[in-house]
Amino acid sequence: MGTGTSTGKQQRRGNTRQRIQDVALELFAEQGYEKTSLREISERLEVTKAALYYHFKTKEDILVSLFENLTTPIDELIAWAKEQPRSLETKQEVLRRYNVIFTKATPLFRFMHENQATIRDLSIGESFKQRVIGMVNVLRDPDSPLTAQVRCFSALTTIHGGAIALRDAEGDLEEKQGATLEVAMELVTRAHEES
Amino acid sequence: MGTGTSTGKQQRRGNTRQRIQDVALELFAEQGYEKTSLREISERLEVTKAALYYHFKTKEDILVSLFENLTTPIDELIAWAKEQPRSLETKQEVLRRYNVIFTKATPLFRFMHENQATIRDLSIGESFKQRVIGMVNVLRDPDSPLTAQVRCFSALTTIHGGAIALRDAEGDLEEKQGATLEVAMELVTRAHEES
Amino acid sequence: MGTGTSTGKQQRRGNTRQRIQDVALELFAEQGYEKTSLREISERLEVTKAALYYHFKTKEDILVSLFENLTTPIDELIAWAKEQPRSLETKQEVLRRYNVIFTKATPLFRFMHENQATIRDLSIGESFKQRVIGMVNVLRDPDSPLTAQVRCFSALTTIHGGAIALRDAEGDLEEKQGATLEVAMELVTRAHEES
Amino acid sequence: MGTGTSTGKQQRRGNTRQRIQDVALELFAEQGYEKTSLREISERLEVTKAALYYHFKTKEDILVSLFENLTTPIDELIAWAKEQPRSLETKQEVLRRYNVIFTKATPLFRFMHENQATIRDLSIGESFKQRVIGMVNVLRDPDSPLTAQVRCFSALTTIHGGAIALRDAEGDLEEKQGATLEVAMELVTRAHEES
DNA sequence: AATGAATGAGCCTTCATTCAT
DNA sequence: AATGAATGAAGGCTCATTCAT
């Protein structure tokens, strides 16, 4: 009783760092970064505030560590894309994978979206912005017109929006995902044809 | 002596409430709601913090008063649209006007966008969400497919995005505005044809 | 009962700033700057810590304000000296006044002496150093030899030392003061004759 | 391989205690005792904080251990002096040796001087005071007049002062040392003649 | 219409220290 | 001989808010 493989409370030891990240994301997402205090996090974990500081240098550091789940896959995707031929198929595959990344990291991304003012001057702002620019550069062709560029950007934000807004909207989730991806695909296809 | 229409510094007197709103918006937009302190606002105005409390009951109260500049015009636009025939031309005009509203209220909207986590539990969240739903309902046709709905929503967010993201992007502002509107228009046109 | 002109506890209001300074000096002198916490100061005053921050921007600021009792008179003395003829009489009078300043600010100066490691990187270090240089420049003549300059400097440090070390030494205070001043005078006189 | 007498970096092993002392003195002297944290020390040594606790019981303990470089030689000097005839030659030799001790321990003594407020309630204060008294007792004769006692004390503080102040002063170091010792000698000689 | 003075709660962070391993 | 993980206490500071004047 109380043991077993459940994710119960007793499984302390060795995984505190992970647990901090989990709880932090949960609370950051729920209440925002500023409004979540380290006291709150530590209380939820039944540790002292000081313990957090053993694992992370600052509050911001906790946040940054969270974002590695998002930035690392994007970096990998961009790297992968650069090695592929710049065909329409590649672009579509990039979009598909991009969508998967965001689908998986929805809570984190939603948090980011809802806390931009905070994120902006927290180093993650710039960090993420760079990734989006990187993505646009991978999707658009070198000398394509401005509208093509806007379309690529719009395709990306459509996926972003899908990851966030569609949660609330009514209807079947998979279906909505499909719709989102479809719209994004169209935009990139159009952009591709323009160049 | 001391009067005149100039926007000079000396024209204190009677308009403090307005000045508080101006400065508050400026700072909220620049740094976020939580990170802007009443001290900061009052210092910028060269008044004491206590003075703010003469004009507004709480910090949140200042924010609420600001949003009346955005919700009122949208309400009026929705009302106007409902009286027009549900034609493509109407929809396009709605989009154009919607774009104008956001172009004018950019700082406020940008602020809202960047502070959702905060806004959310500040009563303004729901308030704005209702307006967007109202807008979608005005753009889409009653029995249109899901993709059409997504397109209308996407058109709206494209404008939102344009008001926000395009500021930073390179290129001529008017041109970028045009591109934004064009993309939005296309989406709504497509949605219109789908129904 | 309880009123009157006594320096009792009830005389709050309007003099809090002063009271903070008094208590702060007392505690800083007694325990050192670092080891004195704002909590301690505020508790002694029966005010909240936040109240301290109404009157002073930072902890260091309290310290700096304390030092104005030392730096302001020195600045005034330097200014005064610059308007006088550069005669021996003037120099002697300057020394006399300098001595008075330090005699009055003994606790503060002693604090400074006992907390050099702290003071050093607290902006007061440099600030005080500048005053001493200013004093030397007032005492020495433009083209006097190096030894004259050293003598002037030595005269100053003699006074400094007198303010600190003589307290502990045995003997009549006035008498010791006199001896200190006498030595300082001799040094400046010698310097004067050299130029 | 890996041994040798070089003071290279690789020679960890067995001398950690010594290395802690070295780094601690360096940092204490540079920043003051309070402002130097054990984290800082351990980081500089590339060890964990806990490692410090293997070698020393407390932070203060590190400091105390440092002072043994000063107190032990003084104790030995006092012990030696007590076995010698109480002649002028002995006293002069004592002074010479005392000066050597301080010349060698300058950084430590300077630290002590700059952190008096801290030292004072750290047990070292009293500890050092006792040694100075011991020294005076060794220098002065049993029934000598008060002035003789003052002279002996003054001789000691002259050496102290020389160790600190002379560093910064201009001029040849050896020469200044000589001057210091000369003055101290004079004082003790005078005292000796008085008794 | 606004100020001066103050509060209470809370924040992020740092520190010396401990202890099982 | 040293580490990894954590603690309890405290520190400086900021904030929204209040209220008598």
Q: Is the predicted pLDDT of residue A49 greater than 60, yes or no?
A: yes
**pLDDT confidence tier of residue A150, bands split at 50, 70 and 90:** confident
Beta-carbon count within 10 A of B195 CB: 13
User: Mean pLDDT of all residues in chain C?
Assistant: 88
Q: Which of residues 4-33 of C touch D (CB under 8 A)?
A: 31-33
Q: What is the number of alpha carbons within 13 Å of residue C82 lying toward its C-beta?
A: 10
Inform me whether the pLDDT recorded for A10 exceeds 80.
Answer: no
- CB-contacted nucleotides of strand E (7 Å): 1-20
CA dihedral in degrees (B12, B14, B16, B21; nearest 10)? -120
CB-CB contact of D74 with D137 (8 Å): no
Average pLDDT value for chain D:
88
Residue C51 CB lies within 7 Å of the nucleic strand E: yes
pLDDT band with cut points at 50, 70 and 90 for residue A48? very high
- CA nearest to C195, candidates C151, C142, C129, C154: C142
* Contact (CB, 8 A) for B32 and B110: no
Distance CA A91, CA A138 (A): 8
* 8 Å CB contact of A146 and B114: no
Residue A5 has pLDDT above 90, yes or no: no
Q: How far apart are the first and last CA of chain D?
A: 63
Give how far Cα A115 sits from Cα of B113, B173, C31, Å: 9, 26, 45
DSSP letter string, C64-75: HHHHHHHHHHHH
B115 touches chain A (CB under 8 A): yes
What is the helix, strand, coil percentage profile of chain C, to 5? 75, 0, 25
Window from A61-75, A172-186, D167-181 with minimum mean pLDDT: D167-181
Among chain D residues, the shortest Cα distance to C116 is held by D114
- Show residues of chain B in contact with A183, CB under 8 Å: 147, 150-151, 154, 187
State whether residue D171 is helix, strand or coil. Answer: coil
Find the mean pLDDT for residues A67-88: 95
The answer to whether C185 and C193 have CB atoms below 8 angstroms apart is: no
pLDDT for D2 beyond 70: no
- Whether residue A118 lies within 8 A of chain B, CB to CB, comes out as yes
CB pair distance less than 8 Å for D118 and C32: yes
Alpha helices, DSSP H only, in chain B?
16-31, 38-45, 49-55, 59-83, 88-104, 106-114, 116-120, 124-139, 146-165, 173-194
Touching chains B and A? (3+ Cβ pairs < 8 A): yes
Minimal C-alpha gap between C99 and chain D (Å): 21
pLDDT band at A82 (very low <50, low <70, confident <90, very high): very high
Write the burial class of residue B36 (CB in 10 Å: 0-12 exposed, 13-18 middle, 19+ buried). buried
Query: What Å distances lie between residue D154 and A16, D74, D188, D191, CA to CA?
Result: 61, 17, 9, 11
Residue type present at position C24: A
Among candidates A115, A150, A165 on the partner chain, residue whose Cβ is nearest the Cβ of B117: A115
DSSP letter string over C142-192?
TT--HHHHHHHHHHHHHHHHHHHHHHHS-S-HHHHHHHHHHHHHHHHHHHH
CB proximity B54–strand E (7 Å threshold): yes
CA-to-C1' span, D52 to E19 (A): 14
Tokens 């201009």 found at: D170
Q: Cα C12 from chain centroid?
A: 27
CA distance A62 to D60: 34
pLDDT bin (cut points 50, 70, 90) of residue B194 is confident
**Cβ of residue D31 lies below 7 Å from strand E:** no
Percent of chain B with pLDDT over 70: 90
- In this prediction, residues B58-84 reach a mean pLDDT of 94
**B35–A183: do the CB atoms touch at under 8 Å?**
no
| Per-residue confidence (pLDDT) for residue D146, from 0 to 100 | 84
Q: Which of residues 51-70 of A touch strand E (CB under 7 A)?
A: 53, 57-60
Burial classification of residue B119, based on how many CB atoms lie within 10 Å of its CB (0-12 exposed, 13-18 middle, 19 or more buried): buried
Q: Is the CB of C62 under 7 A from strand F?
A: no
Q: Which nucleotide comes closest to A52 if you measure CA to C1'?
A: F6
Confidence tier at C13 by pLDDT (50, 70, 90): low
- At D12-60, the pLDDT tens digits run 557 999 999 999 999 999 999 999 999 999 999 999 999 999 999 999 9
The pLDDT tens digits for B4-56 are 444 444 455 579 999 999 999 999 999 999 999 999 999 999 999 999 999 99
Identify the pLDDT of residue B52. Answer: 98
Q: Is A157 left (phi over 0), alpha (psi -120 to 50) or beta?
A: alpha
Are the CB atoms for C152 and C191 separated by under 8 Å?
yes
Q: Are C99 and C180 in contact (CB under 8 A)?
A: yes
Q: Is the CB of C12 under 7 A from strand F?
A: no
Residues 6+ apart with CB under 8 A from B138: B78, B81, B82, B91, B94
Percent of chain D scoring above 90 in pLDDT:
58
Q: In this model, does residue D135 exceed pLDDT 90? A: yes
Distance CA(C79)–CA(C87), nearest Å, equals 15
Span C125-180, pLDDT tens digits: 999 999 999 999 999 988 888 888 888 998 998 898 888 877 766 677 788 888 88
Residue type, A151: R
Q: Residue C89 pLDDT more than 50?
A: yes
Flag residues 31-50 of A with CB < 7 Å from strand E.
Answer: 36-40, 49-50
Give me the phi and psi of A174, to 5 degrees please.
-60, -45
- Cα-based distances in Å from C25 to C21, C131, D99: 6, 21, 36
How far apart (Å, rounded) are the C-alpha atoms in residues D114 and D108? 10
User: Which two tokens mark C52?
Assistant: 């301290």
Q: What mean pLDDT comes out for the span C112-128?
A: 91
B137-161 pLDDT, tens per residue? Answer: 999 888 888 889 888 988 998 888 7
pLDDT at B73 exceeding the cut of 50: yes
C4 pLDDT above the threshold of 70? no
What is the rounded CA–CA span in Å between residue C25 and residue C17?
Answer: 12
φ, ψ of residue D39 to 5 degrees: the values are -60, -45
Q: Can you give the pLDDT at residue D10?
A: 45
D59 CB less than 7 Å from any atom of strand E: yes
Nearest to D32 among C31, C117, C150 (CB): C117
Contacts of D113 in chain C (CB under 8 A): 116
Read off the DSSP letter of residue B32.
Answer: -
In the block, tokens 């774009």 appear at B99
Output the CA angle A88-A94-A99, nearest 5 degrees: 130
Q: Which residues from chain B sit within 8 angstroms of residue A33, using beta carbons?
A: 117
For residues C174 and A19, the model is more confident at A19
Decide which of C168 and D125 is more confident.
D125
Nearest Cα residue to B69 out of B33, B5, B112, B31: B112
Would the CB atoms of D35 and C34 count as touching at under 8 Å?
A: yes
Whether residue A147 and residue B182 make contact (CB cut-off 8 A), yes or no, is: yes
Report which residue type is found at D185: M
For C111, nearest residue in chain D (alpha carbons):
D117
pTM of the full structure: 0.85
**In the structure, do chain B and chain D come into contact, i.e. share 3 or more CB pairs under 8 Å?**
no
| Nucleotide nearest to C59 in CA–C1' terms | F12
Choose from C31, C59, C118, C150 for mutation: most chain D CBs within 10 A: C118
pLDDT at D43: 97
Q: What is the phi-psi region of residue A125: left when phi exceeds 0, alpha when psi lies from -120 to 50, beta otherwise?
A: alpha
Span A109-141, pLDDT tens digits = 889 988 988 998 888 988 998 999 999 999 998
Distance from CA of B85 to the nearest CA of A (A): 27
